[in-house]
Every structure is written in C-alpha cells, then in structure tokens.
C-alpha cells in the first residue's frame, strides 16, 4: 500500500480520499496544523491496515518537531535518518518468515540462517581494540544461525569486522 500511495497509483475511493487529505494538508495554516492533520488523517482513508504504523510515525514526527524547534528542514533531516534506521528495526513479529533486526535484537533468538549487514557508518560502541563489548555482541550475532551465516561488509569495514575480509579474500 505504501508503494501505491508513494507512486500516486491509488485508484477509486482510496485515491479520492488521499487527494482530499493532500488538499487539507496543503491548506494548513502552519507546520503544527499540518502535523496534526497528518497525525489524525489515517481514519479518513478508510482502511483497516497500517493504523499502528501510522500512529507510531505520527508520534515520532510530533516528537521530532518539538526537538527541532518546528523547523521544517531539521524535521526533514531527522525523518530521513529515521527512515534509514528503520531498515534495521522492522517490527514484523517473532513469527515472520524473514525478520530484520539490529544486532542487539538478535540476543536469545535462533534461525536457520542469518545475514549480517555491516554498513560503513554503523556505530560499534566507544571501546577500542580488542573491542570487548562489541566482540561479545558480534559473537552472539554469529551464533544465532543453525546452518548458515552470511556477512555483508563495506569496502572499508570497521576494525571490529575487518578480519572477516581475510577469510574469503576480496
């Protein structure tokens, strides 16, 4: 549904309701009013799915506006950061066939296979070599798989995961 809305490909009643919401947002007198309209707008779309995510996003935007002093550029930057972070913090439930989680969320879980993605700008803690706490966390992550571990490393990996490049070559 997000792809349909984002691409402007909605049809029928949903398209009409989305257009009405866009007009209402455009007519808002200020950023606070627009945020309030957006936060309360989900029920006007007439769909049962996605309400929990909409509420969560509305709460985050409200918090971001408070923190950023209601400056649209600052809110936009924070939303982009949150969007990127959301790719590693998906709430699909413990029963989903594929689960996306950050490193800390893997504790106490087990799966047939894991794919660990290490991005160049990830934070690995403040300790230095031998990275005691980060190494323990890495051990937990790597031992969650019953059968297969796949590591995706950036071209210039952090020193914690850089030794993995020597196992397979580049």
Sequence spans of domains, the chain: 2-86, 103-168
What's the confidence (pLDDT) of residue 5?
A: 65
Q: Are 146 and 110 in contact (CB under 8 A)?
A: yes
The structure tokens listed for 129 are 């070599």
The predicted-structure confidence for 112-142, as pLDDT tens digits, reads as follows 888 888 888 777 777 888 888 889 888 988 8
pLDDT of 4: 65
The pLDDT score that the predictor gives to residue 1 is 58
pTM for this model (two decimals): 0.44
Rounded to 5 degrees, φ, ψ at 168 are -120, -10
Rg over alpha carbons for the chain, rounded to the nearest Å, is 21
Per-residue pLDDT at 147: 92
- Show the low-confidence residues of the chain (pLDDT under 50): 89-90, 92
Per-residue pLDDT at 27: 92
Q: What is the DSSP letter of 155?
A: S
Token pair recorded at residue 64: 């971001």
Task: Give yes or no for a contact between 58 and 38, defined as CB atoms under 8 angstroms apart.
Answer: yes
């Amino acid at each position: 549904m997000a792809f349909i809305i984002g691409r402007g490909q909605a049809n029928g009643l949903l398209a009409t309701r989305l257009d009405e919401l866009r007009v209402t947002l455009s007519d808002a007198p200020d950023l606070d009013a627009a945020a309030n309209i957006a936060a309360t707008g989900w029920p006007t779309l007439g769909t049962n799915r996605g309400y929990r995510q909409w509420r969560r996003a509305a709460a985050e935007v409200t918090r971001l506006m408070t923190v950023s002093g209601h400056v649209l550029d600052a809110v936009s930057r924070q939303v982009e950061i949150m969007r990127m972070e959301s790719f590693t913090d998906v709430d699909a439930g413990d029963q989903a066939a594929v689960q996306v989680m950050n490193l800390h969320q893997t504790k106490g879980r087990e799966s047939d296979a894991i794919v660990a993605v290490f991005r160049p700008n990830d934070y690995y803690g403040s300790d230095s070599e031998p990275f005691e706490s980060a190494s323990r966390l890495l051990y937990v992550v790597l031992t969650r798989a019953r059968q297969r571990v796949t590591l995706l490393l950036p071209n210039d990996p952090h020193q914690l995961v850089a030794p993995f490049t020597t196992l397979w070559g580049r």
